[in-house]
Amino acid sequence: MVETATAEPDGIPIPQRYWAILAIALGLTLAVLDGAIANVALPTIAADLNSSAASSIWVVNAYQLTVTIAILPLSSIGDIYGYRRVYIAGLIGFGIASLGCAPADSLVTLAIARSFQGLGAACIMSVNGALVRVIYPRAWLGRGLGINATVGSIASAAGPTVAAAILAVAHWQWLFAVNVPLAALGLVIALRALPRARRSPHKFDVVSAALCALAFGLLITGIDGIAHDEAWPIVVLEVVASVLMGALLVARQASRASPLLPVDLMRIPLFALSVATSICAFAAQGLALVSLPFLFQNTLGRSQVDTGLLMTPWPMTVAVIAPFIGRLSDKVPAGLLGGVGLALMASGLGLLGFLPDHPSAADIVWRVTLCGLGFGLFNTPNNRALIMAAPRSRTGGASGMQATARLLGQTIGAA
């Protein structure tokens, strides 16, 4: 099936647009939900596969690491061969890898299958924003990105609940097997509804892809090593090697018209500022979402159930307001919305730091809700500004950088 090279229209018509965004929503739900759903089952998986608790973390790490190192190369492939093809390949790969996770009889085979799942998720995430730009008219792009934020927030918030519900009635293998019918449904809709976009004529740079994977992979493992008190010589070696690979990658990209690492886009002030701000905002969110459960349980004596309920207002507030903020971002400057949002988020985090010694649930909930309100007010307008700052031919690179900024921020914050 050949994708045309003709000029693209401004969005696609209704009802195709609705079906296309449904395909996007299904894929994004799978990618985000599966990133969070395995955490709940780690003790059960470790016991069933006769592995230690420390080793079982690779069920999560294998997925996250693969997603992080693969996003930028896959976004470049999307520019070259078409976003639709990469997205469909991601749905197929994710479904097949889920089938591989279910019968895994050792931690090694499960981690390998999870890596392939991560590759499928990276295909989905790398071109997600690019497809939304093709699906929606320019004047309505904020609405499409708002729907994306809603779906991602709901999937993230629902992860622990869905995992607990499945584990209450079935074995942990069903956490992965349940993905197969959803991936199949998303594939059927995607084949019929996702548009074909104009492709870039440049060739895929294999050497740059390898350097990119090494740079980000070593950086993430180094940051994770700091968080887990690994031997300092190893951590320093990983970070130094990451910087070296990154320097080689940037030097290689400087002379290329469509670089895999979008250094050309980073010369656009609005794009560079949006990326930097996104990393900072997601780092702050990642830090809060990892540390607050310890505050609630270890310091304030709340139960695990209470902690889950107290954390839920953050993603749920983002989910509720995202569609409205998406519409607003099509009319109001991103700098204004994002600035107000970050101020509200910072205020919420500061107020959480000054909780009374024995706070009520209401004392905590309204502060957490304020954080979610601020983050939701920032995220969609910032993503819109980031995507729109890039030339249309470089939408894949912009989409990949958006996802990379989010993952890098979350990793730094969690560490």
What are 93-146's pLDDT values in tens digits?
999 999 998 888 888 899 999 999 999 999 998 888 889 888 888 888 888 888
At 53, the pLDDT band (50, 70, 90 cuts) reads low
Please give the distance of CA 209 from its chain centroid, rounded to a whole number: 20
Per-residue model confidence (pLDDT) at position 314: 87
Q: How many CB atoms lie within 10 A of CB 13?
A: 7
pLDDT tens figures, 174-189? 888 888 999 999 999 9
Measure the CA angle with vertex 240, ends 239 and 241; round to 5°: 90
- pLDDT given for residue 408 in this prediction: 84
The token pair that represents 240 in the structure block:
């130094």
pTM > 0.75: yes or no: yes
pLDDT category at 3 given cuts 50, 70, 90 is very low
Higher pLDDT, 224 or 248: 248
Report the C-alpha gap between 259 and 251 in whole angstroms.
Answer: 11
**Residue 3 three-state SS:** coil
pLDDT at res. 4: 40
User: Which of 82-91, 295-304, 378-387 shows the lowest per-residue confidence on average (mean pLDDT)?
Assistant: 295-304
The amino acid that residue 21 corresponds to is: I
What one-character DSSP code corresponds to residue 228? Answer: T
Q: Alpha-carbon distance 120 to 117, whole Å?
A: 5
pLDDT the model gives residue 94: 94
Question: What's the rounded Cα separation, in Å, for the pair 149 and 321?
Answer: 9
pLDDT band at 221 (very low <50, low <70, confident <90, very high): confident
Distance CA 72, CA 199 (A): 16
Closest to 399 in 3D by CA, of 312, 274, 225, 301? 274
- Tell me the C-alpha distance between 1 and 366, whole Å: 52
Upstream peptide bond of 333 is cis (omega within 30 degrees of 0)? no
Angle at 119 between CA 401 and CA 18, to 5 degrees: 70
pLDDT of residue 186: 93
pLDDT tens digits, 297-307: 788 888 767 87
The three-point CA angle 232-233-236 to 5° equals: 80
Q: Which residues contact 72 (CB under 8 A, 6 or more apart)?
A: 126, 209, 212, 216, 260, 261, 397, 400, 401, 404
Between CA 275 and CA 411 the distance in angstroms is 15
Which residues, including other chains, have CB under 8 Å from residue 13's CB and lie 6 or more apart? none
Q: Mean per-residue pLDDT for 7-18? A: 77
Q: Looking at the predicted structure, is the pLDDT value of residue 5 above 50?
A: no
State the amino acid at position 240 in one-letter form.
V
